[in-house]
Amino acid sequence: MGRARFISFEGGEGSGKTNHSRRLAEWLRQQGHEVVLTREPGGTPGAEEIRKLLVQGEIARWEPMTEALLHFAARRDHVTKVIKPALVRGAWVVSDRFADSTTAYQGYGHGLGAEPIDLLRRLVLGDFAPGLTLLFDVPVTLGLQRAGKRNVAAARADARYENMGDAFHARVRDGFLAVARAEPHRVTVIDSSKPVEEVAAIVVAAMRTHFEDQLR
């Protein structure tokens, strides 16, 4: 049995994962596949409402465990209503963020620890996980510079996480890399400070390696 046709893109702010998730979805469509391109928090009407609670407002709006619970509530709705039905019908699912973001942001960034997040993950998701996770790793300073330029250009109001400071984002990066070390069979780390086309080629190569029996 092949890997689940579910690819998650992970990484800190300004890592480029959103752009490359869109590029991968388009590449898969060009290969003749049905693709569901989605995101977290979000992906369903209810989860998008929860997203607004999480990405807007003051930095200290939520205490860490409340924030983690909100993420998992949105995730449960997303998995149940969008991701699993798409996989059942044979579509590929490409998601901009999934459960590893909660480990990194709430577990490491906010200091809850990996164990409480893992308990929540198992309660909410069981053993459900992406077939491949592409972790876009970029130095914190560069990532925040990119995110800052994006926010100014778009006059965004949903920059709550970007505003949490360098030390927070350094812990987030540490969290993502800890996940990658623990699950190298699932997580591929990509240096996303490289040029866009080079990164895109690495993404396609990782896809062909991990889904050799499903991509012709």
Q: How far is CA 52 from the centre of its chain?
A: 17
Structural domain count of the chain: 1
Q: Residue 139: inside a domain, yes or no?
A: yes
Q: Is the confidence at residue 8, as pLDDT, over 50?
A: yes
Q: Is the confidence at residue 216, as pLDDT, over 90?
A: no
Q: Residue 1: inside a domain, yes or no?
A: no
Q: Is the confidence at residue 2, as pLDDT, over 80?
A: no
What local confidence, expressed as pLDDT, does residue 45 receive?
98
Record the pTM.
Answer: 0.93
Q: Residue 181: inside a domain, yes or no?
A: yes
Q: What is the mean pLDDT of the chain?
A: 93
Q: Residue 175: inside a domain, yes or no?
A: yes
Q: How far is CA 86 from the centre of its chain?
A: 18
Question: How large is the average pLDDT for residues 117-132?
Answer: 98
pLDDT tens for residues 41-88?
A: 999 999 999 999 999 999 999 999 999 999 999 999 999 999 999 999
Q: Is the confidence at residue 1, as pLDDT, over 60?
A: no
Can you name the residues that pair with 8 across neighbouring β-strands?
95, 133
Q: Residue 216: inside a domain, yes or no?
A: no
Give the pair of three-digit tokens for residue 197.
């086309």
pLDDT tens for residues 87-116?
A: 999 999 999 999 999 999 999 999 999 999
Question: How large is the average pLDDT for residues 166-186?
Answer: 97
Q: Residue 148: inside a domain, yes or no?
A: yes
Question: How large is the average pLDDT for residues 116-136?
Answer: 98
What local confidence, expressed as pLDDT, does residue 125 receive?
98
Q: Please choose, from the candidates 197, 206, 153, 196, the residue with its C-alpha nearest in 3D space to the C-alpha of residue 15.
A: 196
The dihedral over CA atoms of 20, 161, 186, 34, expressed in degrees to the nearest 10, equals -40
Query: In Å, how far are 55, 93, 111, 134 from 189, measured between CA atoms?
Result: 25, 19, 23, 6
What local confidence, expressed as pLDDT, does residue 215 receive?
84
pLDDT tens for residues 148-174?
A: 766 554 446 788 998 898 999 999 999
What is the domain-level CATH number for residue 204? 3.40.50.300
Domain containing 117 equals 6-210
Q: Is the confidence at residue 144, as pLDDT, over 60?
A: yes
Q: Is the confidence at residue 9, as pLDDT, over 70?
A: yes
Q: Residue 215: inside a domain, yes or no?
A: no
